[in-house]
Chain A
Amino acid sequence: MIQERQALNGGSVLVTGVASGIGRSIALRLIADGYAVLGLDIDPSPPPGLAGFEAVDITQPAEARKALAQLLAAHGAVLRLVNNVGSSRRENVIDSSGDTQRWLNRLNLGSALLCLQAVLPGMREARFGRVVNITSRAAMGRETRSAYSATKSALASLTRSWARDFAAEGITVNAVGPGTINTDLFSRNNPPNAPDVTRLREGVPMRRIGEPEEIAQAVSFFLDTRSSYITGQTLYVCGGLSLGAVSPAGNGPPLDDAIAPRP
């Protein structure tokens, strides 16, 4: 099965934000899938096994264009792209100065367009391409992170728009929307037994925080050659959180307990 997948897939895939967190897990998964993974990150410590890497601040378009050009010159056309890089900042609306929105417009949205423009000529020539945008469950709205939510909702709209733009050329554009994921950054900011973590976990229907490898699983699916008739879709990988916000009690006990006869 793995050999079949490698035969079908392979080739280069560009992953942004590859040094840590979800991006790192995506890269490692795609290497295991048989891809030649090219990475971009501001952090010059990529995961092992990449075929190519450029350290660059992707919020600076001119610098990022150069880095992309170097990767493409060295490795040829890239027919798969994972727009993963992104960040967030906790900020109540009352504290906003606009700076967070400006920063995230560059990092979460400008980077996606920049990378798309870089790889698009090769995809068009090959009449084949796979683009996966990493959005977020927060695209549906998130208090204390409205600027972040705006950029992820925008990326969801762009996913649908770009899917329509390029569908006739064999290029699919889909999105994966993570819920709360156990990245290194999350762990550093949220000790395992902190009240906030307990509240977050109990608010998820599956009662657990997701793992980065579970995001990589969805990304791998969309990148697969056989996912050729799927475009413009968003797959939430969130333990059911996208079903809607409920109080922890609203998730209910496991069914066996709920229907067990009283002693």
Chain B
Amino acid sequence: MPARADDVPATAEQSRTPLLLVGTPTDFTTTIAATLSKAGYAPVPAQLDDIPASAIAAPPPAILVLPPVLDRVDARIPVEDFIDALDAILVPAGLMARDLVARRGADQGTRIVVLLDSAVTGPAHNTVAAAAMGGLLGLARSWALEFAPLLVTVNVVVIGFDPAADPGAPRLPHMLPQPDVKAVAHAVAFFLDPRAASITGQVLSVCGGRLASGLPL
């Protein structure tokens, strides 16, 4: 069983739990992967539109879908480009779920965690990211319902801050300090844990209170 996502000694490679990391890595998500590695997972990178045949043949017990990396684009975007952007994210996400979970049939506890960024709450001037993150949220919640009979759980962790974009942001007195990347990894590890077998379809914001009420559930 994987350990807590803290600084714990790495386990032997053969006892580590394979973790498919799906999406384009960033410094932030790379740090999450490193933290999860210390917690007993063996991350295997993959692209959303290019899942390795080996993973399809033998799906890993843990899957972490990384948030797509998107430019900030407002509502003036040509509709054709908007649709292309959504197709590029939502279509392969659905096919990934089909190939790694649905076609596998009766399952014994795959854990899927979908990481989203705060664009899911609908920030201003961010049409494409809001739609993409919202779409992934709808997929994740639907997968949770459809895959529950397969004993597969699907949960969402919302990254409620962007330390790279605003490293010097002052602490707001009515909120907790800015959470760091390890706090996000800890939430991911919680949902991946085999003991979280009856938790599915949930959305957890790791935000220090900054997204409170920002995402109606």
Contacts and interface: CB of A to CB of B under 8 A. Distances in A.
Interface of A: 61, 92-94, 96, 98, 101-102, 105-106, 109-110, 113-114, 116-117, 120, 138-147, 149-165, 232, 234, 245
Given A155-B134, A160-B122, A232-B122, A110 B83 contact: yes
B216 to A, nearest CB: 6
A93 B90 contact: no
A232 B80 CA distance: 25
Interface string B126-163: 11001111111111111111110000000000000000
B121 interface: yes
B122 to A, nearest CB: 3
Contacts of B140: 141
Interface of B: 74-77, 79-80, 82-83, 86-87, 90-92, 94-95, 97-98, 101-103, 119-127, 130-147, 201, 216-217
Given A113-B82, A141-B141, A149-B141, A157 B91 contact: no
A161 B127 contact: yes
Contacts of A98: 91-92, 94-95
B139 to A, nearest CB: 5
Contacts of B138: 138-139, 141, 146, 149-154
A142 B142 contact: yes
Nearest to A115: B79
Nearest to A165: B124
Main secondary structure of the interface of B (DSSP, over half): helix
Contacts of A159: 122
B138 to A, nearest CB: 3
27 contacts: A61-B83, A92-B146, A93-B94, A93-B97, A93-B98, A93-B146, A102-B87, A110-B79, A113-B127, A117-B76, A138-B142, A141-B144, A142-B142, A143-B145, A143-B146, A145-B142, A146-B142, A146-B146, A147-B90, A149-B141, A153-B134, A153-B138, A156-B134, A157-B120, A157-B130, A161-B122, A164-B124
Nearest to A59: B83
A160 B130 contact: yes
A94 B143 CA distance: 11
A84 to B, nearest CB: 17
Contact of B135 (A117, A151, A164): A151
Nearest to B121: A160
Contacts of B98: 93-94, 96
Contacts of A164: 122-125
Given A141-B201, A159-B122, A150 B136 contact: yes
Contacts of B123: 161, 164
Contacts of B74: 165
A143 B142 contact: yes
Contacts of A114: 79
Nearest to A153: B138
A162 B74 CA distance: 9
A154 B127 contact: no
Q: Which 6 A-B residue pairings sit nearest by Cβ, starting from the closest?
A: A160-B122, A141-B141, A153-B138, A157-B134, A146-B142, A94-B102
